[in-house]
Amino acid sequence: MKHRTWSHASFLVLTAALAACAGGDQSADEILIGEYGSLTGTTATFGISTKNGIEMATEAINAAGGLLGKQVRIIVEDDQGRPEEAQTVVSKLINSDRVVALLGEVASSNSLAAAPVAQQNRIPMISPSSTNPAVTEVGDFIFRVCFIDPFQGFVMAKFAANTLQFTNVAILRDIKSDYSVGLADVFIQNFTTLGGTIASDESYSGGDTDFSAQLTALKATNPQAIFVPGYYTEVGLIARQAKALGIQAPLLGGDGWDSPDLIEIGGEALEGSYFSNHYSVDDPSPAIQKFVTDYRAKYGETPDALAGLGYDAAMVLFDAIKRAGTTEPQALRDAIAATRNFAGVTGTTTLDEHRNAVKPAVVLQIKDAKLAYVETITP
Amino acid sequence: MKRWLLWLGVLLVLAGLEASLRGLIGPYAYQITVLVGVNIILAVSLNLINGFTGQFSIGHAGFYAVGAYTSAALVKFGGPAIRGLVGFLPAIGQDAVLLLAGLAAAAIVAGIAGLAVGIPSLRLRGDYLAIVTLGFGEIIRVVILNVDSIGGARGFSGIEQLSNFFWVYFFVLVTIVVIHNIVHSSYGRAFVSIRDDEIAAEAMGVDTTRFKVLSFVISSMFAGIAGGLFGHFTMYLHPNSFTFVASFNVIIMIVIGGLGSIEGAVVGATVFTVALELLRKLGPFRLVSFAVLLVLIMIYRPQGLLGSWTLFKGRRKAAPKAMVV
List the CATH number of the domain containing B57: 1.10.3470
Residue A271 falls inside a structural domain: yes
Residues A92 and A169 in one domain: no
Asked whether residue A256 is assigned to any structural domain, the reply reads yes
> Do A53 and A84 belong together in one domain?
yes
For residue A214, give its domain range. Answer: 150-277
pLDDT of residue B32: 93
Task: Determine which helix (DSSP H) or strand (DSSP E) holds A94, and give its type and residue range.
Answer: helix A83-95
Whether residues A208 and A254 fall in one domain? yes
CB atoms B278 and A22 under 8 Å: yes
Question: Per-residue confidence at B316, pLDDT binned at 50, 70, 90?
Answer: very low
The pLDDT of residue B220 is 95
Q: End of a domain among A231, A246, A277?
A: A277
Inter-chain CB proximity A17 and B287 less than 8 Å: no
* Mean pLDDT lowest among A14-28, A201-215, A342-356, B96-110: A14-28
Task: Give yes or no for a contact between B224 and B110, defined as CB atoms under 8 angstroms apart.
Answer: yes
Q: State whether residue A318 is helix, strand or coil.
A: helix
- Angle, vertex CA A231, rays to CA A228 and CA A232, nearest 5: 100
What are the chain B neighbours of A108 within 8 Å (beta carbons)? 154-155
Domain membership flag for residue B205? yes
CB contact under 8 A, B28 and A83: no
| Chain A residue nearest residue B30, CA to CA | A91
Q: For chain B, give the percent of residues with pLDDT over 70.
A: 94
Is residue B52, in this structure, part of any structural domain at all? yes
Same domain, A166 and A315: no
Is A309 in the same domain as A352? yes
Interatomic CA distance for residues A38 and A178, integer angstroms: 23
Query: Tell me, what's the ipTM?
Result: 0.79
Identify whether residues A183 and A143 lie together within a single domain. no
Asked if residue B138 is part of any domain, the answer here is: yes
Interface list for chain B against chain A, based on CB atoms closer than 8 Å: 26-28, 31-32, 35, 146, 148, 152-155, 157, 230, 234-238, 240-241, 277-284, 286-287, 289, 292-293, 296, 299-300
Q: Are A273 and A290 contained in the same domain?
A: no
A3 is a domain residue: no
Kindly state whether residue B18 falls inside one of the protein's structural domains: no
Please give, rounded to a whole number of angstroms, the shortest distance from the CA of A360 to a CA of chain B: 25
Q: A223 and A262 share a domain?
A: yes
Contact assignment for A109 to B32 by CB distance below 8 Å: no
Longest Cα–Cα distance in chain A: 87
Instruction: Classify residue B29: in a domain, yes or no.
Output: no
Same domain as A142, residue A58: yes
- Facing residue for A84 by CB, picked from B148, B241, B277: B241
Strongest mean pLDDT among B106-115, B180-189, B286-295, B301-310? B106-115
B107 or A306, which is more confident?
A: B107
Do residue A143 and residue A291 come from a single domain? yes
DSSP A235-303: HHHHHHHHHHTT--SPEEE-GGG-SHHHHHHHGGGGTT-EEEES--TT---HHHHHHHHHHHHHHSS--
Nearby residues of A314 by Cβ (< 8 Å), 6 or more positions away: A33, A53, A54, A57, A58, A61, A74, A103
Q: Do residue A116 and residue B238 have CB atoms under 8 angstroms apart? A: no
Contact flag B153-A177 (C-beta cutoff 8 Å): yes
| Residue-level pLDDT at B312 | 59
Q: What is the CATH number of the domain that holds A191?
A: 3.40.50.2300
Split at pLDDT 50, 70, 90, the class of B309 is: low
Measure in Å the smallest separation between the Cα of A97 and chain B Cα atoms: 10
Same domain, A190 and A260: yes
* AA letter at A184: A
Q: How far is CA A364 from CA A166, A184, A254, A375, A376, in A?
A: 17, 18, 10, 7, 9
Residue-wise pLDDT tens digits, A140-180: 999 999 988 888 999 999 999 999 999 999 999 988 777 88
User: How many domains would you assign to chain A?
Assistant: 2
Using beta carbons and an 8 Å cutoff, which residues of A are at the interface with B? 3, 6-7, 10-11, 14, 17-18, 21-22, 39-40, 76-78, 80-84, 87-89, 91-92, 94-96, 108-109, 112-113, 116, 121, 132, 134, 138, 176-178
Assess whether pLDDT exceeds 70 at residue B276. yes
Q: What amino acid occupies position B59?
A: G
- The count of structural domains within chain B is 1
B321, pLDDT greater than 50: no
pLDDT at B310 (0 to 100): 65
Q: Do the chains contact at B284 and A78, CB–CB below 8 Å? A: yes
Query: Do residue A249 and residue A177 come from a single domain?
Result: yes
Task: Provide mean pLDDT across the span A264-290.
Answer: 88
| Residue B179 domain-assigned (yes or no) | yes
Does any domain span residue A331? yes
Q: Which residue from A7, A18, A95 is facing B27, i.e. has the nearest CB?
A: A95
Query: What single-letter amino acid sits at A367?
Result: K
At residue A213 the predicted structure's pLDDT band, cuts being 50, 70 and 90, is very high
Contact across the interface for A134 and B157, Cβ inside 8 Å = yes
Looking at A226, A255, A277, the residue that finishes a domain is A277
In a domain, B7, yes or no: no
Exposed, middle or buried: residue B291 (CB in 10 Å: 0-12, 13-18, 19+)? exposed
| Residue A12 confidence (pLDDT) | 47
Any alpha helices (H) in B48-164, and if so which ranges?
60-85, 91-121, 126-146
Residues of A in contact with B153 (CB under 8 A): 109, 177-178
Instruction: Please name the amino acid found at residue A308.
Output: G
Domain residues for the domain of B157 are 41-318
pLDDT for the residue A329: 92
Q: Is B147 left (phi over 0), alpha (psi -120 to 50) or beta?
A: beta
Min Cα separation B28/chain A (Å): 5
pLDDT digits (tens, 9 = 90+) for B197-227: 889 998 988 898 899 999 999 999 999 999 9
* Residues B64 and B242 sit within 8 Å (Cβ to Cβ): yes
3-state secondary structure (DSSP) of residue A324:
helix
Q: What is the pLDDT of residues A33-83, one digit of tens each?
A: 999 998 887 778 888 999 999 999 999 999 999 899 999 999 999 988 888
